[in-house]
Amino acid sequence: MAIRRPNVVISDDESGYDPDVLCIPNHYAEELEKVFIPHGLIMDRTERLPGDVMKEMGGHHIVALCVLKGGYTFFADLLDYIKALNRNHDKSIPMTVDFIRLKSYCNDQSTGDIKIIGGDDLSTLTGKNVLIVEDVIDTGKTMQTLLPLVKQYNLKMVRVASLLVKRTPWGVGYSPEFVGFEIPDKFVVGYTLDYNEFFQDLNHVCVISEADKVKYKA
């Protein structure tokens, strides 16, 4: 049985940080409402997660399945910390990686229509421990679509790690096993999370203004 472990909860009234006091690319300096989660905090929390992953999944070869594009940076950093754990502990397990690309957003709204638009043959997951790595879970509909697709390959175990989980009234009740941060229902960008392909090159997780949502609208 999967264990839901504690995570960092960010309150609804979190004020965040003034972008002027942190390192922000100049081309976004005037466009961010606030820095919501600084990069250093993201890295510290990500470093903590592999211990939880290994306790639950470390008995068998793990396939880490990255959900592109937004999950890529979190995926890469998480795997670096898992590899460090493997190097520095007596007990270690082999790990391989795979990728799948999904699309569910138009501008800042989830369409509810989840499309798989890229990825390898999922039959290679058969009989494996699979760790799905996501950037953000809001309604949970993406996982509601993806999990049955991977489970049909008779996995030994499947677990989900997400950097962010939103508290939203539109959720379907799904919660991943490993969570970095639980956040209010705000549209966030940065750390590879994008808005119509923009803002992927921010290190921090940030909130953009309503005016800039209009500016970068597809």
The set of catalytic residues is: 138
Task: Name the percent of the chain in helix, strand, coil, to the closest 5.
Answer: 30, 35, 35
Cα distance between the two ends of the chain: 42
Q: Which residues fall within 8 angstroms of residue 99, CB to CB, at 6 or more apart? A: 65, 66, 68, 118, 119, 120
- Output DSSP code: residue 173: S
The phi, psi pair for 155, rounded to 5°, reads -65, 150
